[in-house]
């Protein structure tokens, strides 16, 4: 289905005009805040996530009513920091998802089951919290993509050999991170410095 015109009677048969009724539900801001209402279309993860300990997880949902997609992309440090960055957008065509986002991760993306994705994201957040790290500030805006209030399961063992293992990234506040990390885990300076 395509989107209705603003002044048409709303398709939901409320008797109101579309702009006074369901149109609001099809605005990007609403869609992202209520992401869990939309069915999962596909989830992806970077192919080398296990070796690198760094996961780019893409959760794509579909607004069936207007035939558009919304996505949440979570950059997750599985060894230490948890959710390091968050990107999201809504009301996109499938083409935009395909080219704009999947191409962005150069190592290539592979399919992953939604529940596995949730487990990695929410598990990494919990692991990081125990060390003293909170998720990126934009997590709050996009968290509905992975229904954080629902229980999750994961077989993945966070950290390296169960311990926090911090690899310094180019945009990190390394001093602050080391202060929080303290003696709880190992620290290595990455080659990107
Ligand atoms: Zn309506």
- At 107 the pLDDT is 65
Q: 21 C-alpha to center of ligand 1: Å?
A: 4
- At 182 the pLDDT is 85
Q: 58 C-alpha to center of ligand 1: Å?
A: 30
Q: 66 C-alpha to center of ligand 1: Å?
A: 12
Q: Determine which helix (DSSP H) or strand (DSSP E) holds 49, and give its type and residue range.
A: helix 49-52
Q: Which residues, 6 or more positions from 27, have their beta carbon under 8 angstroms from its beta carbon?
A: 91
- At 11 the pLDDT is 87
Q: 16 C-alpha to center of ligand 1: Å?
A: 7
Over the stretch 39-64, which tens digit does the pLDDT of each residue have?
999 999 999 999 999 999 999 999 99
- At 193 the pLDDT is 41
Q: 138 C-alpha to center of ligand 1: Å?
A: 30
Q: Which residues, 6 or more positions from 108, have their beta carbon under 8 angstroms from its beta carbon?
A: 46, 47
How many domains, the chain? 1
Does residue 19 form part of some domain?
no
Q: 10 C-alpha to center of ligand 1: Å?
A: 5
Does residue 13 form part of some domain?
no
- At 41 the pLDDT is 97
**In the numeric block, which tokens belong to residue 107?**
């190592």
Does residue 2 form part of some domain?
no
- At 4 the pLDDT is 81
Does residue 11 form part of some domain?
no
- Spans in the chain with pLDDT lower than 70: 1-2, 105-107, 189-193
Domain carrying residue 121: 35-189
DSSP collapsed to 3 states, 25-47: HHCHHHHHHCHHHCCEEEEEEEC
């Amino acid at each position: 289905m395509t989107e209705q015109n603003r002044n048409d009677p709303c398709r939901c048969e409320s008797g109101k005009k579309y702009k006074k009724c369901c149109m609001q539900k099809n605005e990007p801001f609403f869609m992202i805040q209520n992401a869990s209402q939309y069915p999962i279309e596909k989830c992806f993860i970077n192919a080398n996530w296990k070796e690198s300990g760094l996961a780019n997880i893409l959760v794509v949902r579909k607004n069936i009513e207007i035939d558009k997609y919304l996505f949440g992309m979570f950059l997750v440090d599985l060894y230490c920091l948890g959710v390091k960055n968050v990107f999201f957008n809504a009301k996109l065509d499938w083409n935009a998802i395909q080219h704009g986002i999947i191409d962005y991760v150069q190592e290539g993306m592979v399919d992953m089951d939604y529940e596995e994705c949730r487990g990695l994201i929410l598990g990494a957040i919990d692991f990081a919290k125990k060390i003293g790290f909170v998720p990126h500030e934009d997590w709050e805006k996009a968290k509905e993509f992975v229904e954080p209030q629902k229980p999750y399961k994961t077989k993945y063992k966070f950290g390296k050999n169960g311990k926090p293992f911090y690899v310094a990234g180019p945009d990190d506040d390394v001093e602050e991170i080391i202060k929080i990390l303290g003696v709880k885990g190992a620290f290595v300076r990455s080659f990107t410095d």
